[in-house]
Structure 1
Amino acid sequence: MNVELKFQISHVLFPLCIQALREPAVFSKSTGCESEIPHEKLTIAQARRGTPAHRPVRVYADGIFDLFHSGHARALMQAKNVFPNTYLIVGVCSDELTHKFKGYTVMTEDERYDALRHCRYVDEVLRDAPWSLSTEFLKKHKIDFVAHDDIPYTSAGSEDVYKHIKEAGMFVATERTEGISTSDLITRIVRDYDIYVRRNLQRGYTARELNVGYINEKKYRLQEQVDKMKETVRTVEEKSKHFVYRVEEKSQDLIHKWEEKSREFIGNFLELFGPDGAWARSLLH
């Protein structure tokens, strides 16, 4: 292939590669979905058969998404792939609403919004999502179906906040990923608190930034010195063991060589001075 042809091919393919790079998901408009395409209600059967390219199935999934992890991503992957042609809108609750109904978050709402924007399965992020979904909200954003795991979600005085969605035939179930959740991650951090504090002190964070008192800071610093001393002792022990092993190995080698030489010396001695040796034969003659 000549140079000119290679240049022509690269000149065509490079812009296509640039176009293939996906931008972060857009934020929903406060006015709702403004598409001019008629939004007729779909049944699940119709959605599963596939819809025209210009009319994707609008699926909504909501949550807190604190400490965004693989369990969140897998749930959104399922929501995105529940129908052949899906446009996934993800609602993220604000700090004010979350702190009121669920508890304090690690990440701020802006950090959580931005994390969702960069998930490959998400097409649109709806900020300050409502805790409960009203009929007006669903119509405003032209939502066809709501995706969530099928476990009844008890909150805000309701036994299941998705009950009316299920009764309307607008609910599609996703499956939770066992072994990973925001609560699990926070539990690990709390359980190993001392380890993480010591690690961050080593990395240059101040005790004030970590909200660690003077006495505890000194305790962690002392523990760090003790651990370094233990590691030094272990290193010396390992080196000592290696040295002793080498000495034993050399000693065994020397003993083996001495045994060989001694057998050779005794054999030569007997050959010369033994009853049938050369010295005895010379005396007989």
Structure 2
Amino acid sequence: MTATARRVGARGVDAPGRAAVGARTLRTDRWWLAPAATAAGLLVFVVYATARAFEQAYFFADERYLTPFYSPCVSLGCASAPGSSHFGMFLPDNPLIPYAALSLPFLLGFRLTCYYYRKAYYRSFWLAPAACAVPEPHARQTGETRFPLILQNAHRYFFYFAVLVSLVNTYDALVAFRHPDDGFVVGVGNLVLLANVALLWCYTASCHSCRHVMGGRLTHFSKHPVRYWFWTRISALNTRHMFFAWITLASLILTDLYVTLVARGTIVDLRLIG
């Protein structure tokens, strides 16, 4: 069968009028390394986070450290770790319901609809496209105009929930400086929680939606000097949005791992003050 015959009625790169190239791609470099590494990194985080969210144990250490995967801890099961629930316990204790079920869906929605993560998993999992000059395997591309990808447009709303969750994580990090028996103390765990919160704020603030909130729809920056000041700072952060997207995945795992190891008694939290 000739190339012309194969292309009759075809779509995409094989549509009539497109150059007939028999090879899958003319690239000779290892173009698949980037999407493969991205897929591996995202899968590691998803598997770890899912396992920890449903383990429902070792989430509160030294009577003050709460892992971000369980914040806010609002399940009745949080009673197993006194002091871990800062906002009350009202969700049923069920192995199929994470203790932080109130926040996890919104955080998942914020990450899934994030502009950078869209590019990451579109290329790595959906192969749309996997890399430059590598054709897509899809005969038809509708973009984000149909279900379920049209839900990506809800990113700006998930952003507001992400801000609320970041505030809750900040509160968790601040109250962790007070031990119920020893009063004000500073341990390595406090530094770990603070570093994680700072990185989460950088990721949230560098979001494209945050940049739009600060300076979107303005036609005269000179008339809005305060918003313009914030917009310039957010724009500078926005250039590193990909970096913060990845580093926060690592910081979340490391923070949770530290709290887990302390809760298990595997390591002892080093007290710096108190």
Q: If the TM-score is normalised by the length of the shorter chain, which range does it land in?
A: under 0.3
Q: Compare the two structures and name the one with the higher strand fraction.
A: 1
Q: Compare the two structures and name the one with the higher helix fraction.
A: 2
When normalised by structure 1's length, the TM-score is 0.17
